[in-house]
Amino acid sequence: MERTISSNQPIVAGRFRLSVGSFVMFVAVAGAGMAVWDWRASLHQPLFGSQPAILGVFAVCCLIAELRPLRLMWLGRSGHITASWTFMMALLLVVPPITAVTVAALVFLTTDLIPPKAPIRILFNVAQITLSLSLGAAILHAAGQAKELQNGMAISPWWLLTFLAVCVAVYVTNSTLTAVVVSLYRKEPPGKLLRESAPASLFVDGMSLFLAPVSAVLAERSLWLIPLLLVVIGVVYRTTQLMLLHQHQATHDDLTALPNRRLLDQQLRNAVLSAQRRGDQVGLILVNLNGFKNVNDRLGRDIGDQLLRQVASRFSDLCPPTETLAHIGSDKFALVISHPGTISHSVAIASDIRDGFARAFQVEGFPLSLDASFGVAVLPDHAHDSDTLWQRADEAMGQAKRTSHHIAVCGRIAPQDEHSVGRLGLLADLNRAPLDRQLFLEYQPQIDLITGEIMGVEALVRWHHPTAGTLYPAQFVGLAEQTDLIQRVTETVLRQAVIQCVQWAGDGRRPLRVGVNVSARNLQDLQFPGVVREVLRRSGVDPALIDLEITENTFGSNREITVQVLGELRQLGLAISIDDFGTGYSSMSQLRELPISQIKIDRSFVTHMVDNARDRLIVHGILQLAQSLHIETIAEGIEDPQVAAVLRELGCDIAQGWLYGKPMSPELIHR
C-alpha cells in the first residue's frame, strides 16, 4: 500500500496549508460518512465473524506489514509500499465491513504513532483507508456478494468479476487520494504523480489485492496455511525490491546517489511539457567544478571520489528541496528549476549555491577548496524545448568558464555577478544607488515553532542595478564593506526596514519584529549609534521591534569600540542578535561580553541534525546554553518538516527557512 504524504507544510506566504487542510478535511468527512454506512451494513452480523481467530491473525499480519514497509524510489521520488492490502481485503471478505474498516484504521493509527507523525498526516491516512475499504465493501454489498466467503459458499465467476471491480476501485481511490494530497503539498499536477508512482506500486499493491481471497480461503481451511501465504508475499517483496533496485541503478549515479543524466533528461522533458501546457517557465542550471581534474591527478581517484560525495551533499543542502539535482559527469552537475518566475530567481539560486562553496571541503582531515562555473538558461526566454534549453545552458556554462566569470546567463554574463560591470564600476554605481532609490528589501518570515505564527522577518537587501539587473548581497555588500559605502548602504536598509515596520504596526494587526544585518565596519564607527538614534526618532517606531544582526566575526581591530557601539545600540532599546552562531571563533566570549538578546543557529548545524547525531548534539547544546542565559534562539535554513519537529522538541523558539517561505516582497507577508 502506498503512503507518501508528508506532514503538513506551514507555508506562510502561500495558500497550500489551507488547500491541503481543506482536502484532508473533505476526505475525513467522506470517510466518516462511509463509516456510518459500514456500521448500518454490519447490523445483525457477528462483529468478529464466524471465526474470531482469523480476525486476530489477519489484524496482526496487517500491523506487521505496515511496520515493515518496502522503501521504493521512482524518478527521484521516494515512498513506501506494504503488503497490508492482502490482509485488509481478506478481512473485508470474512468479517462485517465496520470490523474490517475499524481494524485497518487502528493499524494505520498505531503505525503513525510509532514514531508520532503530524496530526494532519494521521487524519489523512486513517480517513483514506476508511474511504477506500468502505467503497470496496459497498461494491460487494451492491452486487450481493458481500457474504459469499463469510458463509463458506463456492466462489462463482460473478463473484470473481465483482472482486476484480472492488480491487480496481480500492486501488484507484487510495492512489488518487494520495496523489492529490501530495500534489497540493508539492504544487505539482496529481496526474503527473500518478503516472510516476503507478509503475512502482502497481505490482505489489495489485498482487496484494489479488492474494486477499486466497488468504481468506486458506484461513477458513486452516490457520496453519497462512505461513505458506507469507512465503508468497515474501517472494513478491523480494521481486519488487530487485526490480526497484535495478530501476534505481539505471537512473542514479552510484557514487553520489543523485539522479543521473538519463533521469534528468526525463525530468527536464516532463517539466518542459508541463510548463508549456501552463504557460509557465523552467530553469536549467549546469555546473562545472573548476579544477576537479587536478584533484584526481594529484591526490588520486579515491580522494576525488570522497570530494565528489561531499560536493553532492553540499549541493543537495543548498538546492531547493523540491527541485531535481543530478550528477551528469565526473565534474558536472545540473539542476532543474520548476516555476522559476523570473530569470533572476534562477540566477539567485545559482548564486546561493556558489556562495556555499566558500567553505573548504574536509577530506581525510585536509581542506580542499573548489570553485565552480554556472550556466543558466530559462524556457521560454532562451529556448522552446528541452534539448535547446540544455544546449543554451551548456553554452552559458562554457561562457562563464572561458571568461573566468562564475555565473553566466544564456547569451550574457549573469546580471548579479559583479564582474559583469567590473568591480570599480560596481562601486561607482553603488555610490549613487541609495540616492537613486535602487536598493530595496525583501523579507523572510521567522516563525514561532509552537504556535506557527510569524513573529518577525529578516530584511534582505537587493540592488536593482540600472544595467545589470537585480543584484544580491553576495555581489555587492562585500565590496561596500571595503569602503565607507557600507555606512550608506546600512543606513538605507535600516530606514527602509523601519518604515516598513511602522506600516505593518499601523495596519491594525500585531506588529512584526524586523531583523537588519549590520556590518563589522558599522560596529567600528562611533557615529553609528547616533545614526540609528536619528532613524528611530524620525520614524517613531518602537525600538524593540528592530533587531540588529551581527556575525560572530564582527570584532574589528578595536574590540573596545565594538563593545561600546553595541552597548549604546542596546541602550536605545534595540535587540542584538548573533547571526550564524557556532561558525566563528569567539562564540562564548561574545555571549559573555556583549548585550545579546538572540542567537541564530547556523544552517550548517541545522540541515542534517535529523540524520547526524553530532549536529543534533551541537544544536541541543546551543539551545540549552541559550535557555540557561534566557537568550531567544532562531534556527536558520530549515527546509524539512522533520528538522522543524526536532527543533520544536529541543526547545528552539523561532524558525527561519524555505520551509516557511523564501525572501519576499512586504505585501506577500501574511499574518
Distance CA 127, CA 91 (A): 18
DSSP-assigned states of every residue in 501-551: HHHHHTTTS---EEEEE--TTGGG-TTHHHHHHHHHHHHT--GGGEEEEEE
**Identity (one letter) of the amino acid at 444?**
Q
DSSP 8-state symbol, 447 = E
DSSP 8-state symbol, 359 = S
Say how far residue 8 (Cα) sits from the centre of its chain: 11
Q: Are strands 282-290 and 546-551 parallel, antiparallel or unpaired?
A: unpaired
Contact 112, 162 (CB under 8 A): no
Q: Cβ atoms within 10 A of the Cβ of 632, count?
A: 18
Q: Which three cell numbers stand for residue 535?
A: 532613524
SS3 content of the chain, % helix, strand, coil (to 5): 55, 15, 30
**Identity (one letter) of the amino acid at 215?**
S
Peptide bond into 116 cis (omega under 30): no
DSSP 8-state symbol, 285 = E
Contact 494, 486 (CB under 8 A): no
Span 567-596, pLDDT tens digits: 899 899 998 888 877 655 445 656 666 778
Distance CA 300, CA 436 (A): 53
Nearest Cα neighbor of 633 from 610, 655, 658, 603 is 655
**Identity (one letter) of the amino acid at 514?**
V
Measure Cα distances from 66 to 109, 114, 171, 442 in Å: 11, 11, 17, 45
Q: Which three cell numbers stand for residue 470?
A: 537585480
- Please report the pLDDT score of residue 584 as a whole number: 52
Q: Are strands 324-329 and 332-338 parallel, antiparallel or unpaired?
A: antiparallel
Instruction: List phi, psi (to 5°) of 629.
Output: -95, 5
- Indicate the Cα dihedral angle 466, 467, 468, 469, nearest 10°: 50
Contact 24, 127 (CB under 8 A): yes
Q: Which three cell numbers stand for residue 380?
A: 521560454
**Identity (one letter) of the amino acid at 30?**
A
Strands (E), 54-112: 70-74, 77-81
Distance CA 346, CA 645 (A): 30
- 100-111 as b/e: b if 16+ CB within 10 A: bbbbbbebbeeb
Locate cell 505458506: which residue? Answer: 228
Distance CA 183, CA 194 (A): 10
Q: Where are the domains of the chain?
A: 16-251, 261-414, 429-668
Nearest Cα neighbor of 63 from 111, 127, 99, 22 is 111
Locate cell 560536493: which residue? Answer: 311
Distance CA 260, CA 251 (A): 6
- Indicate the Cα dihedral angle 261, 267, 273, 279, nearest 10°: -110
- Please report the pLDDT score of residue 7 as a whole number: 38
- Please report the pLDDT score of residue 470 as a whole number: 79
Which residue blocks in 211-331 are alpha helix, DSSP H? Answer: 212-221, 226-251, 261-278, 292-299, 301-318
CATH among 1.10.730.10, 3.90.105.10, 3.30.450.20, 3.30.70.270 for 261-414: 3.30.70.270
Q: Exposed, middle or buried: residue 583 (CB in 10 Å: 0-12, 13-18, 19+)?
A: middle
pTM, to two decimals = 0.44
Q: Are strands 361-363 and 366-368 parallel, antiparallel or unpaired?
A: antiparallel
DSSP-assigned states of every residue in 586-640: -HHHHHHHS---EEEE-HHHHTTTTT-HHHHHHHHHHHHHHHHTT-EEEE-----
DSSP 8-state symbol, 113 = B
Instruction: List phi, psi (to 5°) of 326.
Output: -135, 150
Q: Considering the domain 16-251, what is its CATH architecture?
A: Orthogonal Bundle (1.10)
- 33-56 as b/e: b if 16+ CB within 10 A: ebbebbeebbeebeeebebeebbe
Which region holds residue 310: left if phi is over 0, alpha if psi is between -120 and 50, else beta? alpha
**Identity (one letter) of the amino acid at 412?**
R
Q: Cβ atoms within 10 A of the Cβ of 439, count?
A: 21
Measure Cα distances from 205 to 198, 201, 209 in Å: 10, 6, 6
CA atoms within a 13 Å half-sphere pointing along the CA-CB vector of 259: 22
Q: Which three cell numbers stand for residue 22?
A: 481543506
Whether 261-414 shares its CATH topology with 429-668 is answered no
Q: Which three cell numbers stand for residue 68?
A: 515493515
In the predicted model, residues of the chain with pLDDT beneath 50 are: 1-18, 72-77, 412-420, 585-586
Contact 615, 585 (CB under 8 A): no
Domain 429-668: which topology?
A: TIM Barrel (3.20.20)
Q: Which three cell numbers stand for residue 353?
A: 549555491
Q: Which three cell numbers stand for residue 544?
A: 524593540
Q: Are strands 412-413 and 513-517 parallel, antiparallel or unpaired?
A: unpaired
